[in-house]
Amino acid sequence: MADLQAILDSIYTDILPRVGEGKVADYIPELAKIDPRQFGMTIVTVDGKVYRVGDADIAFSIQSISKVFMLTLALGKVGESLWKRVGREPSGSAFNSIVQLEHESGIPRNPFINAGAIAVTDVVMAGHAPREAIGELLRFVRYLADDESITIDDKVARSETQTGYRNVALANFMRAYRNLDHPVEHVLGVYFHQCALSMNCEQLARAGLFLAARGSNPMTGHSVVSPKRARRINALMLTCGHYDGSGDFAYHVGLPGKSGVGGGIFAVAPGIASIAVWSPGLNKVGNSQLGAVALEMLAARTGWSVFGD
Ligand code: GLU
C-alpha cells in the first residue's frame, strides 16, 4: 500500500494555506462560535493501522454524520420495513427542505436529509423513553469505536433545541402525515442529542470502520451488520450523503461519505479504510469545504475511488 502518512502529510501541506475557508454553521448558535481555522484528518485501515494529521484529536460536533449510526440501529430493529417510512433516492434539495416533504406526502426522500433522519430516529425510539434512546445510541457509538470517552455535548443540543425551527416544522409535518409515532418534542429531543455527539477524527474513523470491512470491526472483532447491509449503507452514503452536493462529491471524490454541518466528513474506501476529516468552514450546500478538497486529494493520490483509479 502507498505510504499513507506521506500522503496525509502532503495533503496537510497543500491545505494549510487555505485553512479558514468556508463559513461555519451559524444557524446553530453554539456552532457559530467555532474557530474555522482548524483541520484534521485520520485514516484507519482495515488491517488496523491509524494515520493522522493536524487537529485529528480535537472533538467536534458530528451533527448529520450521526444519521449513519442511527440508520444502522434502525435497520437492526425493523429491517427492510424501514423503507415504508423513508425513501432511498437522492434529494437534489437542501437538507432541510420543507417543499419536498409536502410534495411527497410526508415520506422523506432518504434517511440522510433532516426529515428522513427524524423519521429514522422515531423508529429507533419504539419502546424507549427519549432518554433511553439517546443512551442506546451513545452506547452503540462507544461500542463501535471501542472508546468509552465519547460524549454528547449538551450545550450544542440545547442550542439547537432553542433554535431548530425548521426541524420543528419538518417533524410536525410528518406527524400530520402520521409518519411519526412519538410526540414531536420527544423525537426532536433525541435527534438534537444525536447530532450533538462530540467525537474527534480518530474516534469517528474507528466507529465507522465496520462499513469499510464488510460489516465487522477488524480492530475489535465486533460483528456489527451483515456484509450486505454494510454495502447498502455505503450505497446510500454515496448517493445521498452530501445533500444536494452528493453528485458533486461522487464526481470529485468517488467514495461513500456522510457530511455534517459541524464540518466533519466520514468516508469509506470499501475493503481498504475508513476516513474522517474535519474542518469547520462549510461550502454553500453545508458540507465542509476543505474536508471535501482533502478527500478529493486523498482519492487522487491513493486511487481509492470506488470507480477506479
Ligand atoms: N443538526 C443539524 C440540523 O438538523 C444537522 C444538519 C447537518 O449536519 O447537515 O440542522
| pLDDT tens digits along 47-57 | 999 999 999 99
Separation of 285 CA from ligand 1 center, angstroms?
A: 12
Pocket of ligand 1 (CB under 6 A): 63-64, 95-96, 114, 160, 167, 195, 260-261, 286
pLDDT of residue 94: 79
| pLDDT tens digits along 188-243 | 999 999 999 999 999 999 999 999 999 999 999 999 999 999 999 999 999 999 98
| pLDDT tens digits along 100-109 | 898 889 999 9
Ligand 1 atom with the shortest distance to the CA of 167: 4
pLDDT of residue 112: 96
Q: Are the CB atoms for 68 and 208 separated by under 8 Å?
A: yes
pTM of the entire predicted model = 0.97
Quick check: 168 pLDDT over 80?
yes
pLDDT of residue 184: 98
Catalytic residue among 261, 268, 277, 293: 261
Q: Are the CB atoms for 292 and 39 separated by under 8 Å?
A: no
**Mean pLDDT value of segment 66-93:** 96
Separation of 274 CA from ligand 1 center, angstroms?
A: 22
**Mean pLDDT score across all residues of the chain:** 96
Provide CATH code, domain 66-195: 3.40.710.10
- The residue whose CB lies within 8 Å of the most ligand 1 atoms, and thus the one to mutate among 91, 93, 95, 162, is 95
Is residue 67 annotated as part of the catalytic site, yes or no? yes
User: Left, alpha or beta for 40 (phi > 0: left; psi -120 to 50: alpha)?
Assistant: beta
Q: What is the enclosing helix (H) or strand (E) of 277? A: strand 273-278
| pLDDT tens digits along 122-143 | 999 999 999 999 999 999 999 9
Measured between its terminal Cα atoms, the distance across the chain in Å is: 14
Provide CATH code, domain 4-63+198-302: 3.40.710.10
**Mean pLDDT value of segment 149-159:** 98
Buried b (16+ CB within 10 A) or exposed e, 95-108: bbbeebbeeeebbb
CA distance 249 to 273: 18
pLDDT of residue 97: 85
Quick check: 1 pLDDT over 80?
no
Domain with CATH 3.40.710.10 in the chain: 4-63+198-302, 66-195
